[in-house]
Structure 1
Amino acid sequence: MRRFYCHCGQEIFFDNTYCNSCNSILGFDPEQQKLISIEPYKGQFRSVKNPEKRYKRCVHHQHQMQCNWLLSTDDHFTQCLSCRLTRVIPNQVYPYNVKRWAVLESAKRRMLYGLLRLGLPIDNWPADDIQRLQFHFLEDQISNPIDGHEQVLSGHAAGVITLNASEADNSYREATREAMNEPYRTLLGHFRHEIGHFYWDKLIKDQSIYNDFKALFGDDTVDYPKALAAYYEAGPPEDFQQEYISAYASAHALEDWAETWAHYLLMHETLETAVAFEVIRQPETDREFHVWLSEWMQLVLVLNALNRSIGNADAYPFVVSTKVQKKLQFIHDLMHR
């Protein structure tokens, strides 16, 4: 994440809707990937620094959602790029679902920011592409016996990313982390993982690069339900860290891809943040993977040391083996192509 500043000079942050110093209205411009100061102008809004730039606010800028993303004034949508991708939400009659929806959308916006920074297409697919990106946030009968679905599993199918709305609850996520033995389980991580499946369909499947993917990640045609059942029954191989970035990545080639993809997004955005706050210097080039990876390994060494000093678990509980490095480089090269 880059650093953002209000026109008055005050530092502002990605989710802010108002400047705490001068009380200016703030909005995120997806085209520029910047959080900017805006002001009302003739029923619309304009950039304080660049008055010729005109905007309208997302319809969800009010109430608990507090979406701060902007739209162009000639955009026929009323929802911003992020909000309009959500097609199904949990029943808002229940107050806890109002909070869940806001938490889910906040994490989704941060994930989409990372995609924009990488120059990845989000909603500008060909008109005849039936697998357009959309999100469904559902709750099951565990949290809502009256209106909930029988069971909701987070996943991706044909462009639709489904997330169990309970993932927005810290208590649920922590309990699942313990039950699934996942040392690093976050809501943002879920979004990054599932969007990896979406982009596999777009960037790898039926593309010339597919055989290169298969050589690194394995055979994606292996029976998926059987592979997952075997993983949940027996767990990962004892030496999984030699081949995979996480235990779950060992379950199937497609999960290996999604876990590695999510990890690449984590690395890319964290490095951008570290450079922005001058924790590390801007590399001369981020195209060379070995330079990029070297900066990352130095950064996480500091992050883990800081966490241990204050009595917390490691911020980065991963081993980046030689095989994992090759998989990450595959994604890195794909991004730069």
Structure 2
Amino acid sequence: MKAFRCRVCENDLYLENSLCISCGSALGFSRSERALVPVGDDGRYTDHTGATWFRCANRELAGCNWLAPAEGARCDACSLTRTRPSDDDAEGLGQLPAAEAAKRHLVIELDTLGLPVVGRDEDPVGGLCFDMLSSVDENVVIGHANGVITIDLAESDDARRERVRTELGEPYRTMLGHLRHEIGHYLQMVVVTPGPLQDRCRELFGDETADYQAEIDRHYSEGPPDGWEERFITTYATMHPFEDFAETFAHFLHIHDTVDTAAELGLVTVNPAGFGSFRDLVLGVWVPLSIALNQINRSMGKGDLYPFVIPDAVLDKLDFVASLAPAGPGGGEAT
């Protein structure tokens, strides 16, 4: 993630900032400029082309600090949300901002990589949209179907999410991680299947036409196959070729974003875009960086930041999903 600075006073900023704590300037995120820009007292920003932008209508509802093209309109990221909790669902609405913040982060990642973010307004049938659902009164299953990504907002609650992570024996579980996994399903649908890449995808991940429900039943009755660590990044990836692809894609985003952030902040001295393949980037930068970050976390009494081992077979899979990004297999320019 890019390092942001206030254009008024040069103070360091975080992506989520809507106000500079140093000079007090109101801020908004410009997607086209990929920058936090100063917003006037009237809530407007005029860019270099003369176009006027406005604060997102979801500023209060979802804590959104992005700019929208019209007054009273939602920004590009918020417009991707098809369903949200009802106004009388205080708990669900309280969980919404964290999920929307993770989604905004995801959209920036996809923009950086040149991957498609086509909403339902452009493609009513297969376009991307999000159902941010409250599980206060109903069961919500996180998943993807034909461009619709469903998210259980209860996953925004740290205590609940940690309990579920422990119950399922998962080494890692975050809201951003859920979104990265589900967007992998979407991108496999729109970029890989059908198309010339399908044969190579099947060679690496397996035949995606395998009965999904049967594979789910097998996974939960028998568990992962013996020796899974040599071919998969997680046990969940062993369930079905679709899940292997989505898990691998999520890890591609984990690694790409963290390496680029480290490079932007001067923690990595090499340019990530200089690697000819994602495999080389993983071996040359990510492995030593993740070991160092894990050691730092342990110094703070925390668990490993990246509690995974990447076998050689997964390197091939990572290389494949990275090649889907127009920015290039090495991950594009540091953001």
What's the TM-score, normalizing by structure 2? 0.91
Pair 1:244 & 2:206 matched = no
* Alpha carbons 1:40, 1:46 under 8 Å: kept: no
Write the letter of the residue equivalent to 2:198: Y
SS in 2 for 1:59: coil
Structure 1 unaligned regions, length at least 5: none
Write the letter of the residue equivalent to 1:103: A
Cα offset, 1:128, TM superposition: 5.6
Pair 1:330 & 2:320 matched = yes
Write the letter of the residue equivalent to 1:37: P
Pair 1:319 & 2:309 matched = yes
Alignment match, 1:305: 295
Cα offset, 1:310, TM superposition: 2.2
Q: Deviations over 1:17-71 (max 9, x none)?
A: 0111111111111122222223246x73225xx584531121112x252211112
Alpha carbons of 1:124 and 1:312: their partners in 2 closer, same or farther (altered >3 Å)? closer
Alignment match, 2:53: 55
Matches within 5 A, 1:1-337: 1-7=1-7, 8-40=9-41, 44-46=44-46, 50=48, 52=50, 54-61=52-59, 63-73=60-70, 78-123=73-118, 127=122, 130-140=125-135, 144=136, 148-149=137-138, 151-283=139-271, 285-293=274-282, 294-336=284-326
Alpha carbons of 1:125 and 1:285: their partners in 2 closer, same or farther (altered >3 Å)? farther
Bigger RCO of structures 1 and 2 (CA < 8 A, at least 6 apart): 2
| CA distance, structure 2, for counterparts of residue 165 and residue 13 of structure 1 | 23
What's the TM-score, normalizing by structure 1? 0.90
Cα offset, 1:109, TM superposition: 0.8
* Alpha carbons 1:27, 1:69 under 8 Å: kept: yes
Higher mean C-alpha deviation, range 305-314 or range 241-250: 305-314
Write the letter of the residue equivalent to 1:88: T
Cα offset, 1:12, TM superposition: 0.8
| CA distance, structure 2, for counterparts of residue 308 and residue 126 of structure 1 | 46
Write the letter of the residue equivalent to 1:326: D
Alpha carbons of 1:224 and 1:282: their partners in 2 closer, same or farther (altered >3 Å)? same
SS in 2 for 1:332: helix
Q: Deviations over 1:164-220 (max 9, x none)?
A: 121111122111101111110111000000111111110011111100100000010
Write the letter of the residue equivalent to 2:57: V
Q: Deviations over 1:112-151 (max 9, x none)?
A: 11111111121268956611111112233xxx3xxx23x3
Higher mean C-alpha deviation, range 218-227 or range 161-170: 161-170
Alpha carbons of 1:138 and 1:65: their partners in 2 closer, same or farther (altered >3 Å)? closer
| CA distance, structure 1, for counterparts of residue 207 and residue 25 of structure 2 | 53
| CA distance, structure 2, for counterparts of residue 102 and residue 126 of structure 1 | 23
* Alpha carbons 2:121, 2:127 under 8 Å: kept: no
SS in 2 for 1:314: coil
Write the letter of the residue equivalent to 1:45: Y
| CA distance, structure 1, for counterparts of residue 108 and residue 100 of structure 2 | 12
Cα offset, 1:281, TM superposition: 1.3
Alpha carbons of 1:86 and 1:124: their partners in 2 closer, same or farther (altered >3 Å)? closer
Alpha carbons of 1:124 and 1:171: their partners in 2 closer, same or farther (altered >3 Å)? closer
* Alpha carbons 1:285, 1:291 under 8 Å: kept: no
SS in 2 for 1:82: helix
Write the letter of the residue equivalent to 1:325: L
Cα offset, 1:155, TM superposition: 0.4
| CA distance, structure 1, for counterparts of residue 72 and residue 274 of structure 2 | 38
Structure 2 unaligned regions, length at least 5: 329-335
Cα offset, 1:260, TM superposition: 0.3
Write the letter of the residue equivalent to 1:39: G
Between the two proteins, the alignment pairs up a number of residues equal to 324
SS in 2 for 1:273: helix
Cα offset, 1:252, TM superposition: 0.3
* Alpha carbons 2:28, 2:67 under 8 Å: kept: yes
SS in 1 for 2:58: helix
Moved >3 Å (runs of 4+):
50-53, 124-129
* Alpha carbons 1:29, 1:35 under 8 Å: kept: yes
SS in 1 for 2:22: coil
| CA distance, structure 2, for counterparts of residue 197 and residue 306 of structure 1 | 33
Cα offset, 1:311, TM superposition: 2.0
Alignment match, 2:333: none
SS in 1 for 2:39: strand
Percentage identity across paired residues of the two chains:
35
